[in-house]
Amino acid sequence: MFSAETYAARRKTLLEHLAAAGATGIVFLPGNVHSARNYEDNTYPFRQDSTFLYYFGHNHAGLNGTLDVDSGESRLWGDDPSMEGIIWSGPLPGLAERAARCGCAPGGSNDSLVSLLHAAGRKGRTIHHLPPYRMDSVQWLAHCLATRVCAGPDALEQHACGAEAFDSLTRSMRQQASLPLIRAVVAQRSVKSIEEVAEIEKALGISYAMYTKAMELARPGLGERCIAAAMNATVALAGTHNSFTTICTIRGEVLHNHDYSHTMHQGDLLLIDSGAESDMGYASDITRTLPVGGLFSARQRDIYTLVLRAQQKAIDMAAPGVPFLHCHLAAAACIAEGLQSMGLLRGSVDDIVSCGAHALFFPHGLGHMLGLDVHDMEHLGEDHVGYDETVSRSTKFGLRGLRFARAPLPGFTLTVEPGCYFIPALMDKWKAEGICKDFINFDALEHFRDFGGIRIEDDILITDSGCRVLGRPIPKTPEGIEARMHARA
């Protein structure tokens, strides 16, 4: 954990933002609970809610936080360890000790929290909460806010409501989320402190070790799962967790491919998109595309080089006040120019990008916020995190997938991850429907149906005058990757 003063200062800033917005009442920040895998005592690895972690610091299940906008008081709530819990899990800190560690007062048990929130509701006080993203959080919110799952008075009728009632409840809890709280949290968590950036760089240190291992091992005859397992083991040996499920595939045209069933062959491209968490929960997110035999073919090198050029152009542009949308479009233009020079696209680069023909090959956004979540604060709503009054989300294919479009401020941490993919089903659809047919050489594309995909991703910090690529450099030029892969011998 950071110091108790850090968490107290964060909560003070949040309350000041809310007061400035004219908000009153109580902020309720529930922590996560254990999530059952197939029965109650066999759970998935625990991950704390990131906003709770940001303001209260404890990576422990069953805790909750409140902030009183009117009095300025913050409290931590939770049940002290029972003897049964001590028998199975060993001695754990009590609530008072946990509260002291994050610089607030202990509130009491979770039952007493429910009573407090019910009483506040009866008095007409506003309870501010964020949109929930887990079903157990939806149910806990409903319980704390005295919201019925359905109108029936008994368990049988409640059961009869089934999934429809819970879907309705989920929508209701999300719709009731406090817009002033969402905006205040986004504004605060977007700007990373020096200590937070250091945590991200710790995670990137693990990423460096992960990709070093991948470049040592990637060779013909091995399965994708061997590389994924070695990288995941590197994270485990560092004493932490993956920030998301590792993508490790020779079918890189499948953007989020979690299938590790293929065997690598000479000439394949292995796309790896992976990340680690620091012990305080801050994420890294890195992508590299490796030639399985240790050398890029001429065609692979051409495509790889245009993606690398696009990434470097976007990184060079990224700066305070420069809309990230502009960086995305500049990267798209680099990809379009490269494909045009190869005879796969035709017409002027400006026209290619304007009509969206490049999106056949680059169908996603340039990057996203990074922090305690690998897609930082995404559950609060991408339009709150990545857009503002100066830029609205496009409806155009490719552009509408841009998670972050607004101009960043110093202290923002973002990914920059352009790619070029040859997706047979998408190619067939566009050809059949004549989409952008004046700009795409569909006949030439037939020779790329089995190419796969290439993506290159790094994490950047927006500085006062530009940006800095975070972490120890992981080889990403064709020459650098080939040299590292040949050095394994």
pLDDT tens for 35-58 read 999 998 899 999 999 999 999 999
Give the pLDDT band (50/70/90) at residue 162: low
CA 139 to chain centre: 24
Task: Give yes or no for residue 154 having a pLDDT over 50.
Answer: no
- pLDDT given at position 161: 55
Residues 256-273 pLDDT 10s: 999 999 999 999 999 999
Distance CA 429, CA 360 (A): 10
Closest CA to 282 of 395, 194, 408, 185: 194
Q: Sign of the C-alpha dihedral, residues 415, 385, 206, 229? A: negative
- pLDDT given at position 85: 86
Distance CA 42, CA 35 (A): 8
- What is the chain's mean pLDDT, rounded? 94
Task: Give yes or no for residue 106 having a pLDDT over 50.
Answer: yes
Task: Give yes or no for residue 148 having a pLDDT over 80.
Answer: no
* Structure tokens belonging to residue 363: 């169908």
- pLDDT given at position 159: 44
Give the pLDDT band (50/70/90) at residue 150: very low
* Structure tokens belonging to residue 208: 């460096």
Q: State pTM to two decimals.
A: 0.94
- pLDDT given at position 488: 60
Closest CA to 30 of 191, 140, 156: 140
Mean pLDDT of 401-418: 98
- pLDDT given at position 69: 97
Which of 2-11, 143-152, 303-312, 324-333 is the least confident region? 143-152
Domains of the chain are 4-187 (3.40.350.10), 191-487 (3.90.230.10)
Residues 188-209 pLDDT 10s: 999 999 999 999 999 999 999 9
Distance CA 463, CA 451 (A): 37
- pLDDT given at position 157: 47
CA distances from 161 to 154, 171, 179 (A): 11, 15, 29
Q: Percent of the chain, pLDDT > 70?
A: 96
Which of 51-55, 298-302, 398-402, 406-410 is the least confident region? 398-402
More confident residue, 400 or 149: 400
- pLDDT given at position 167: 84
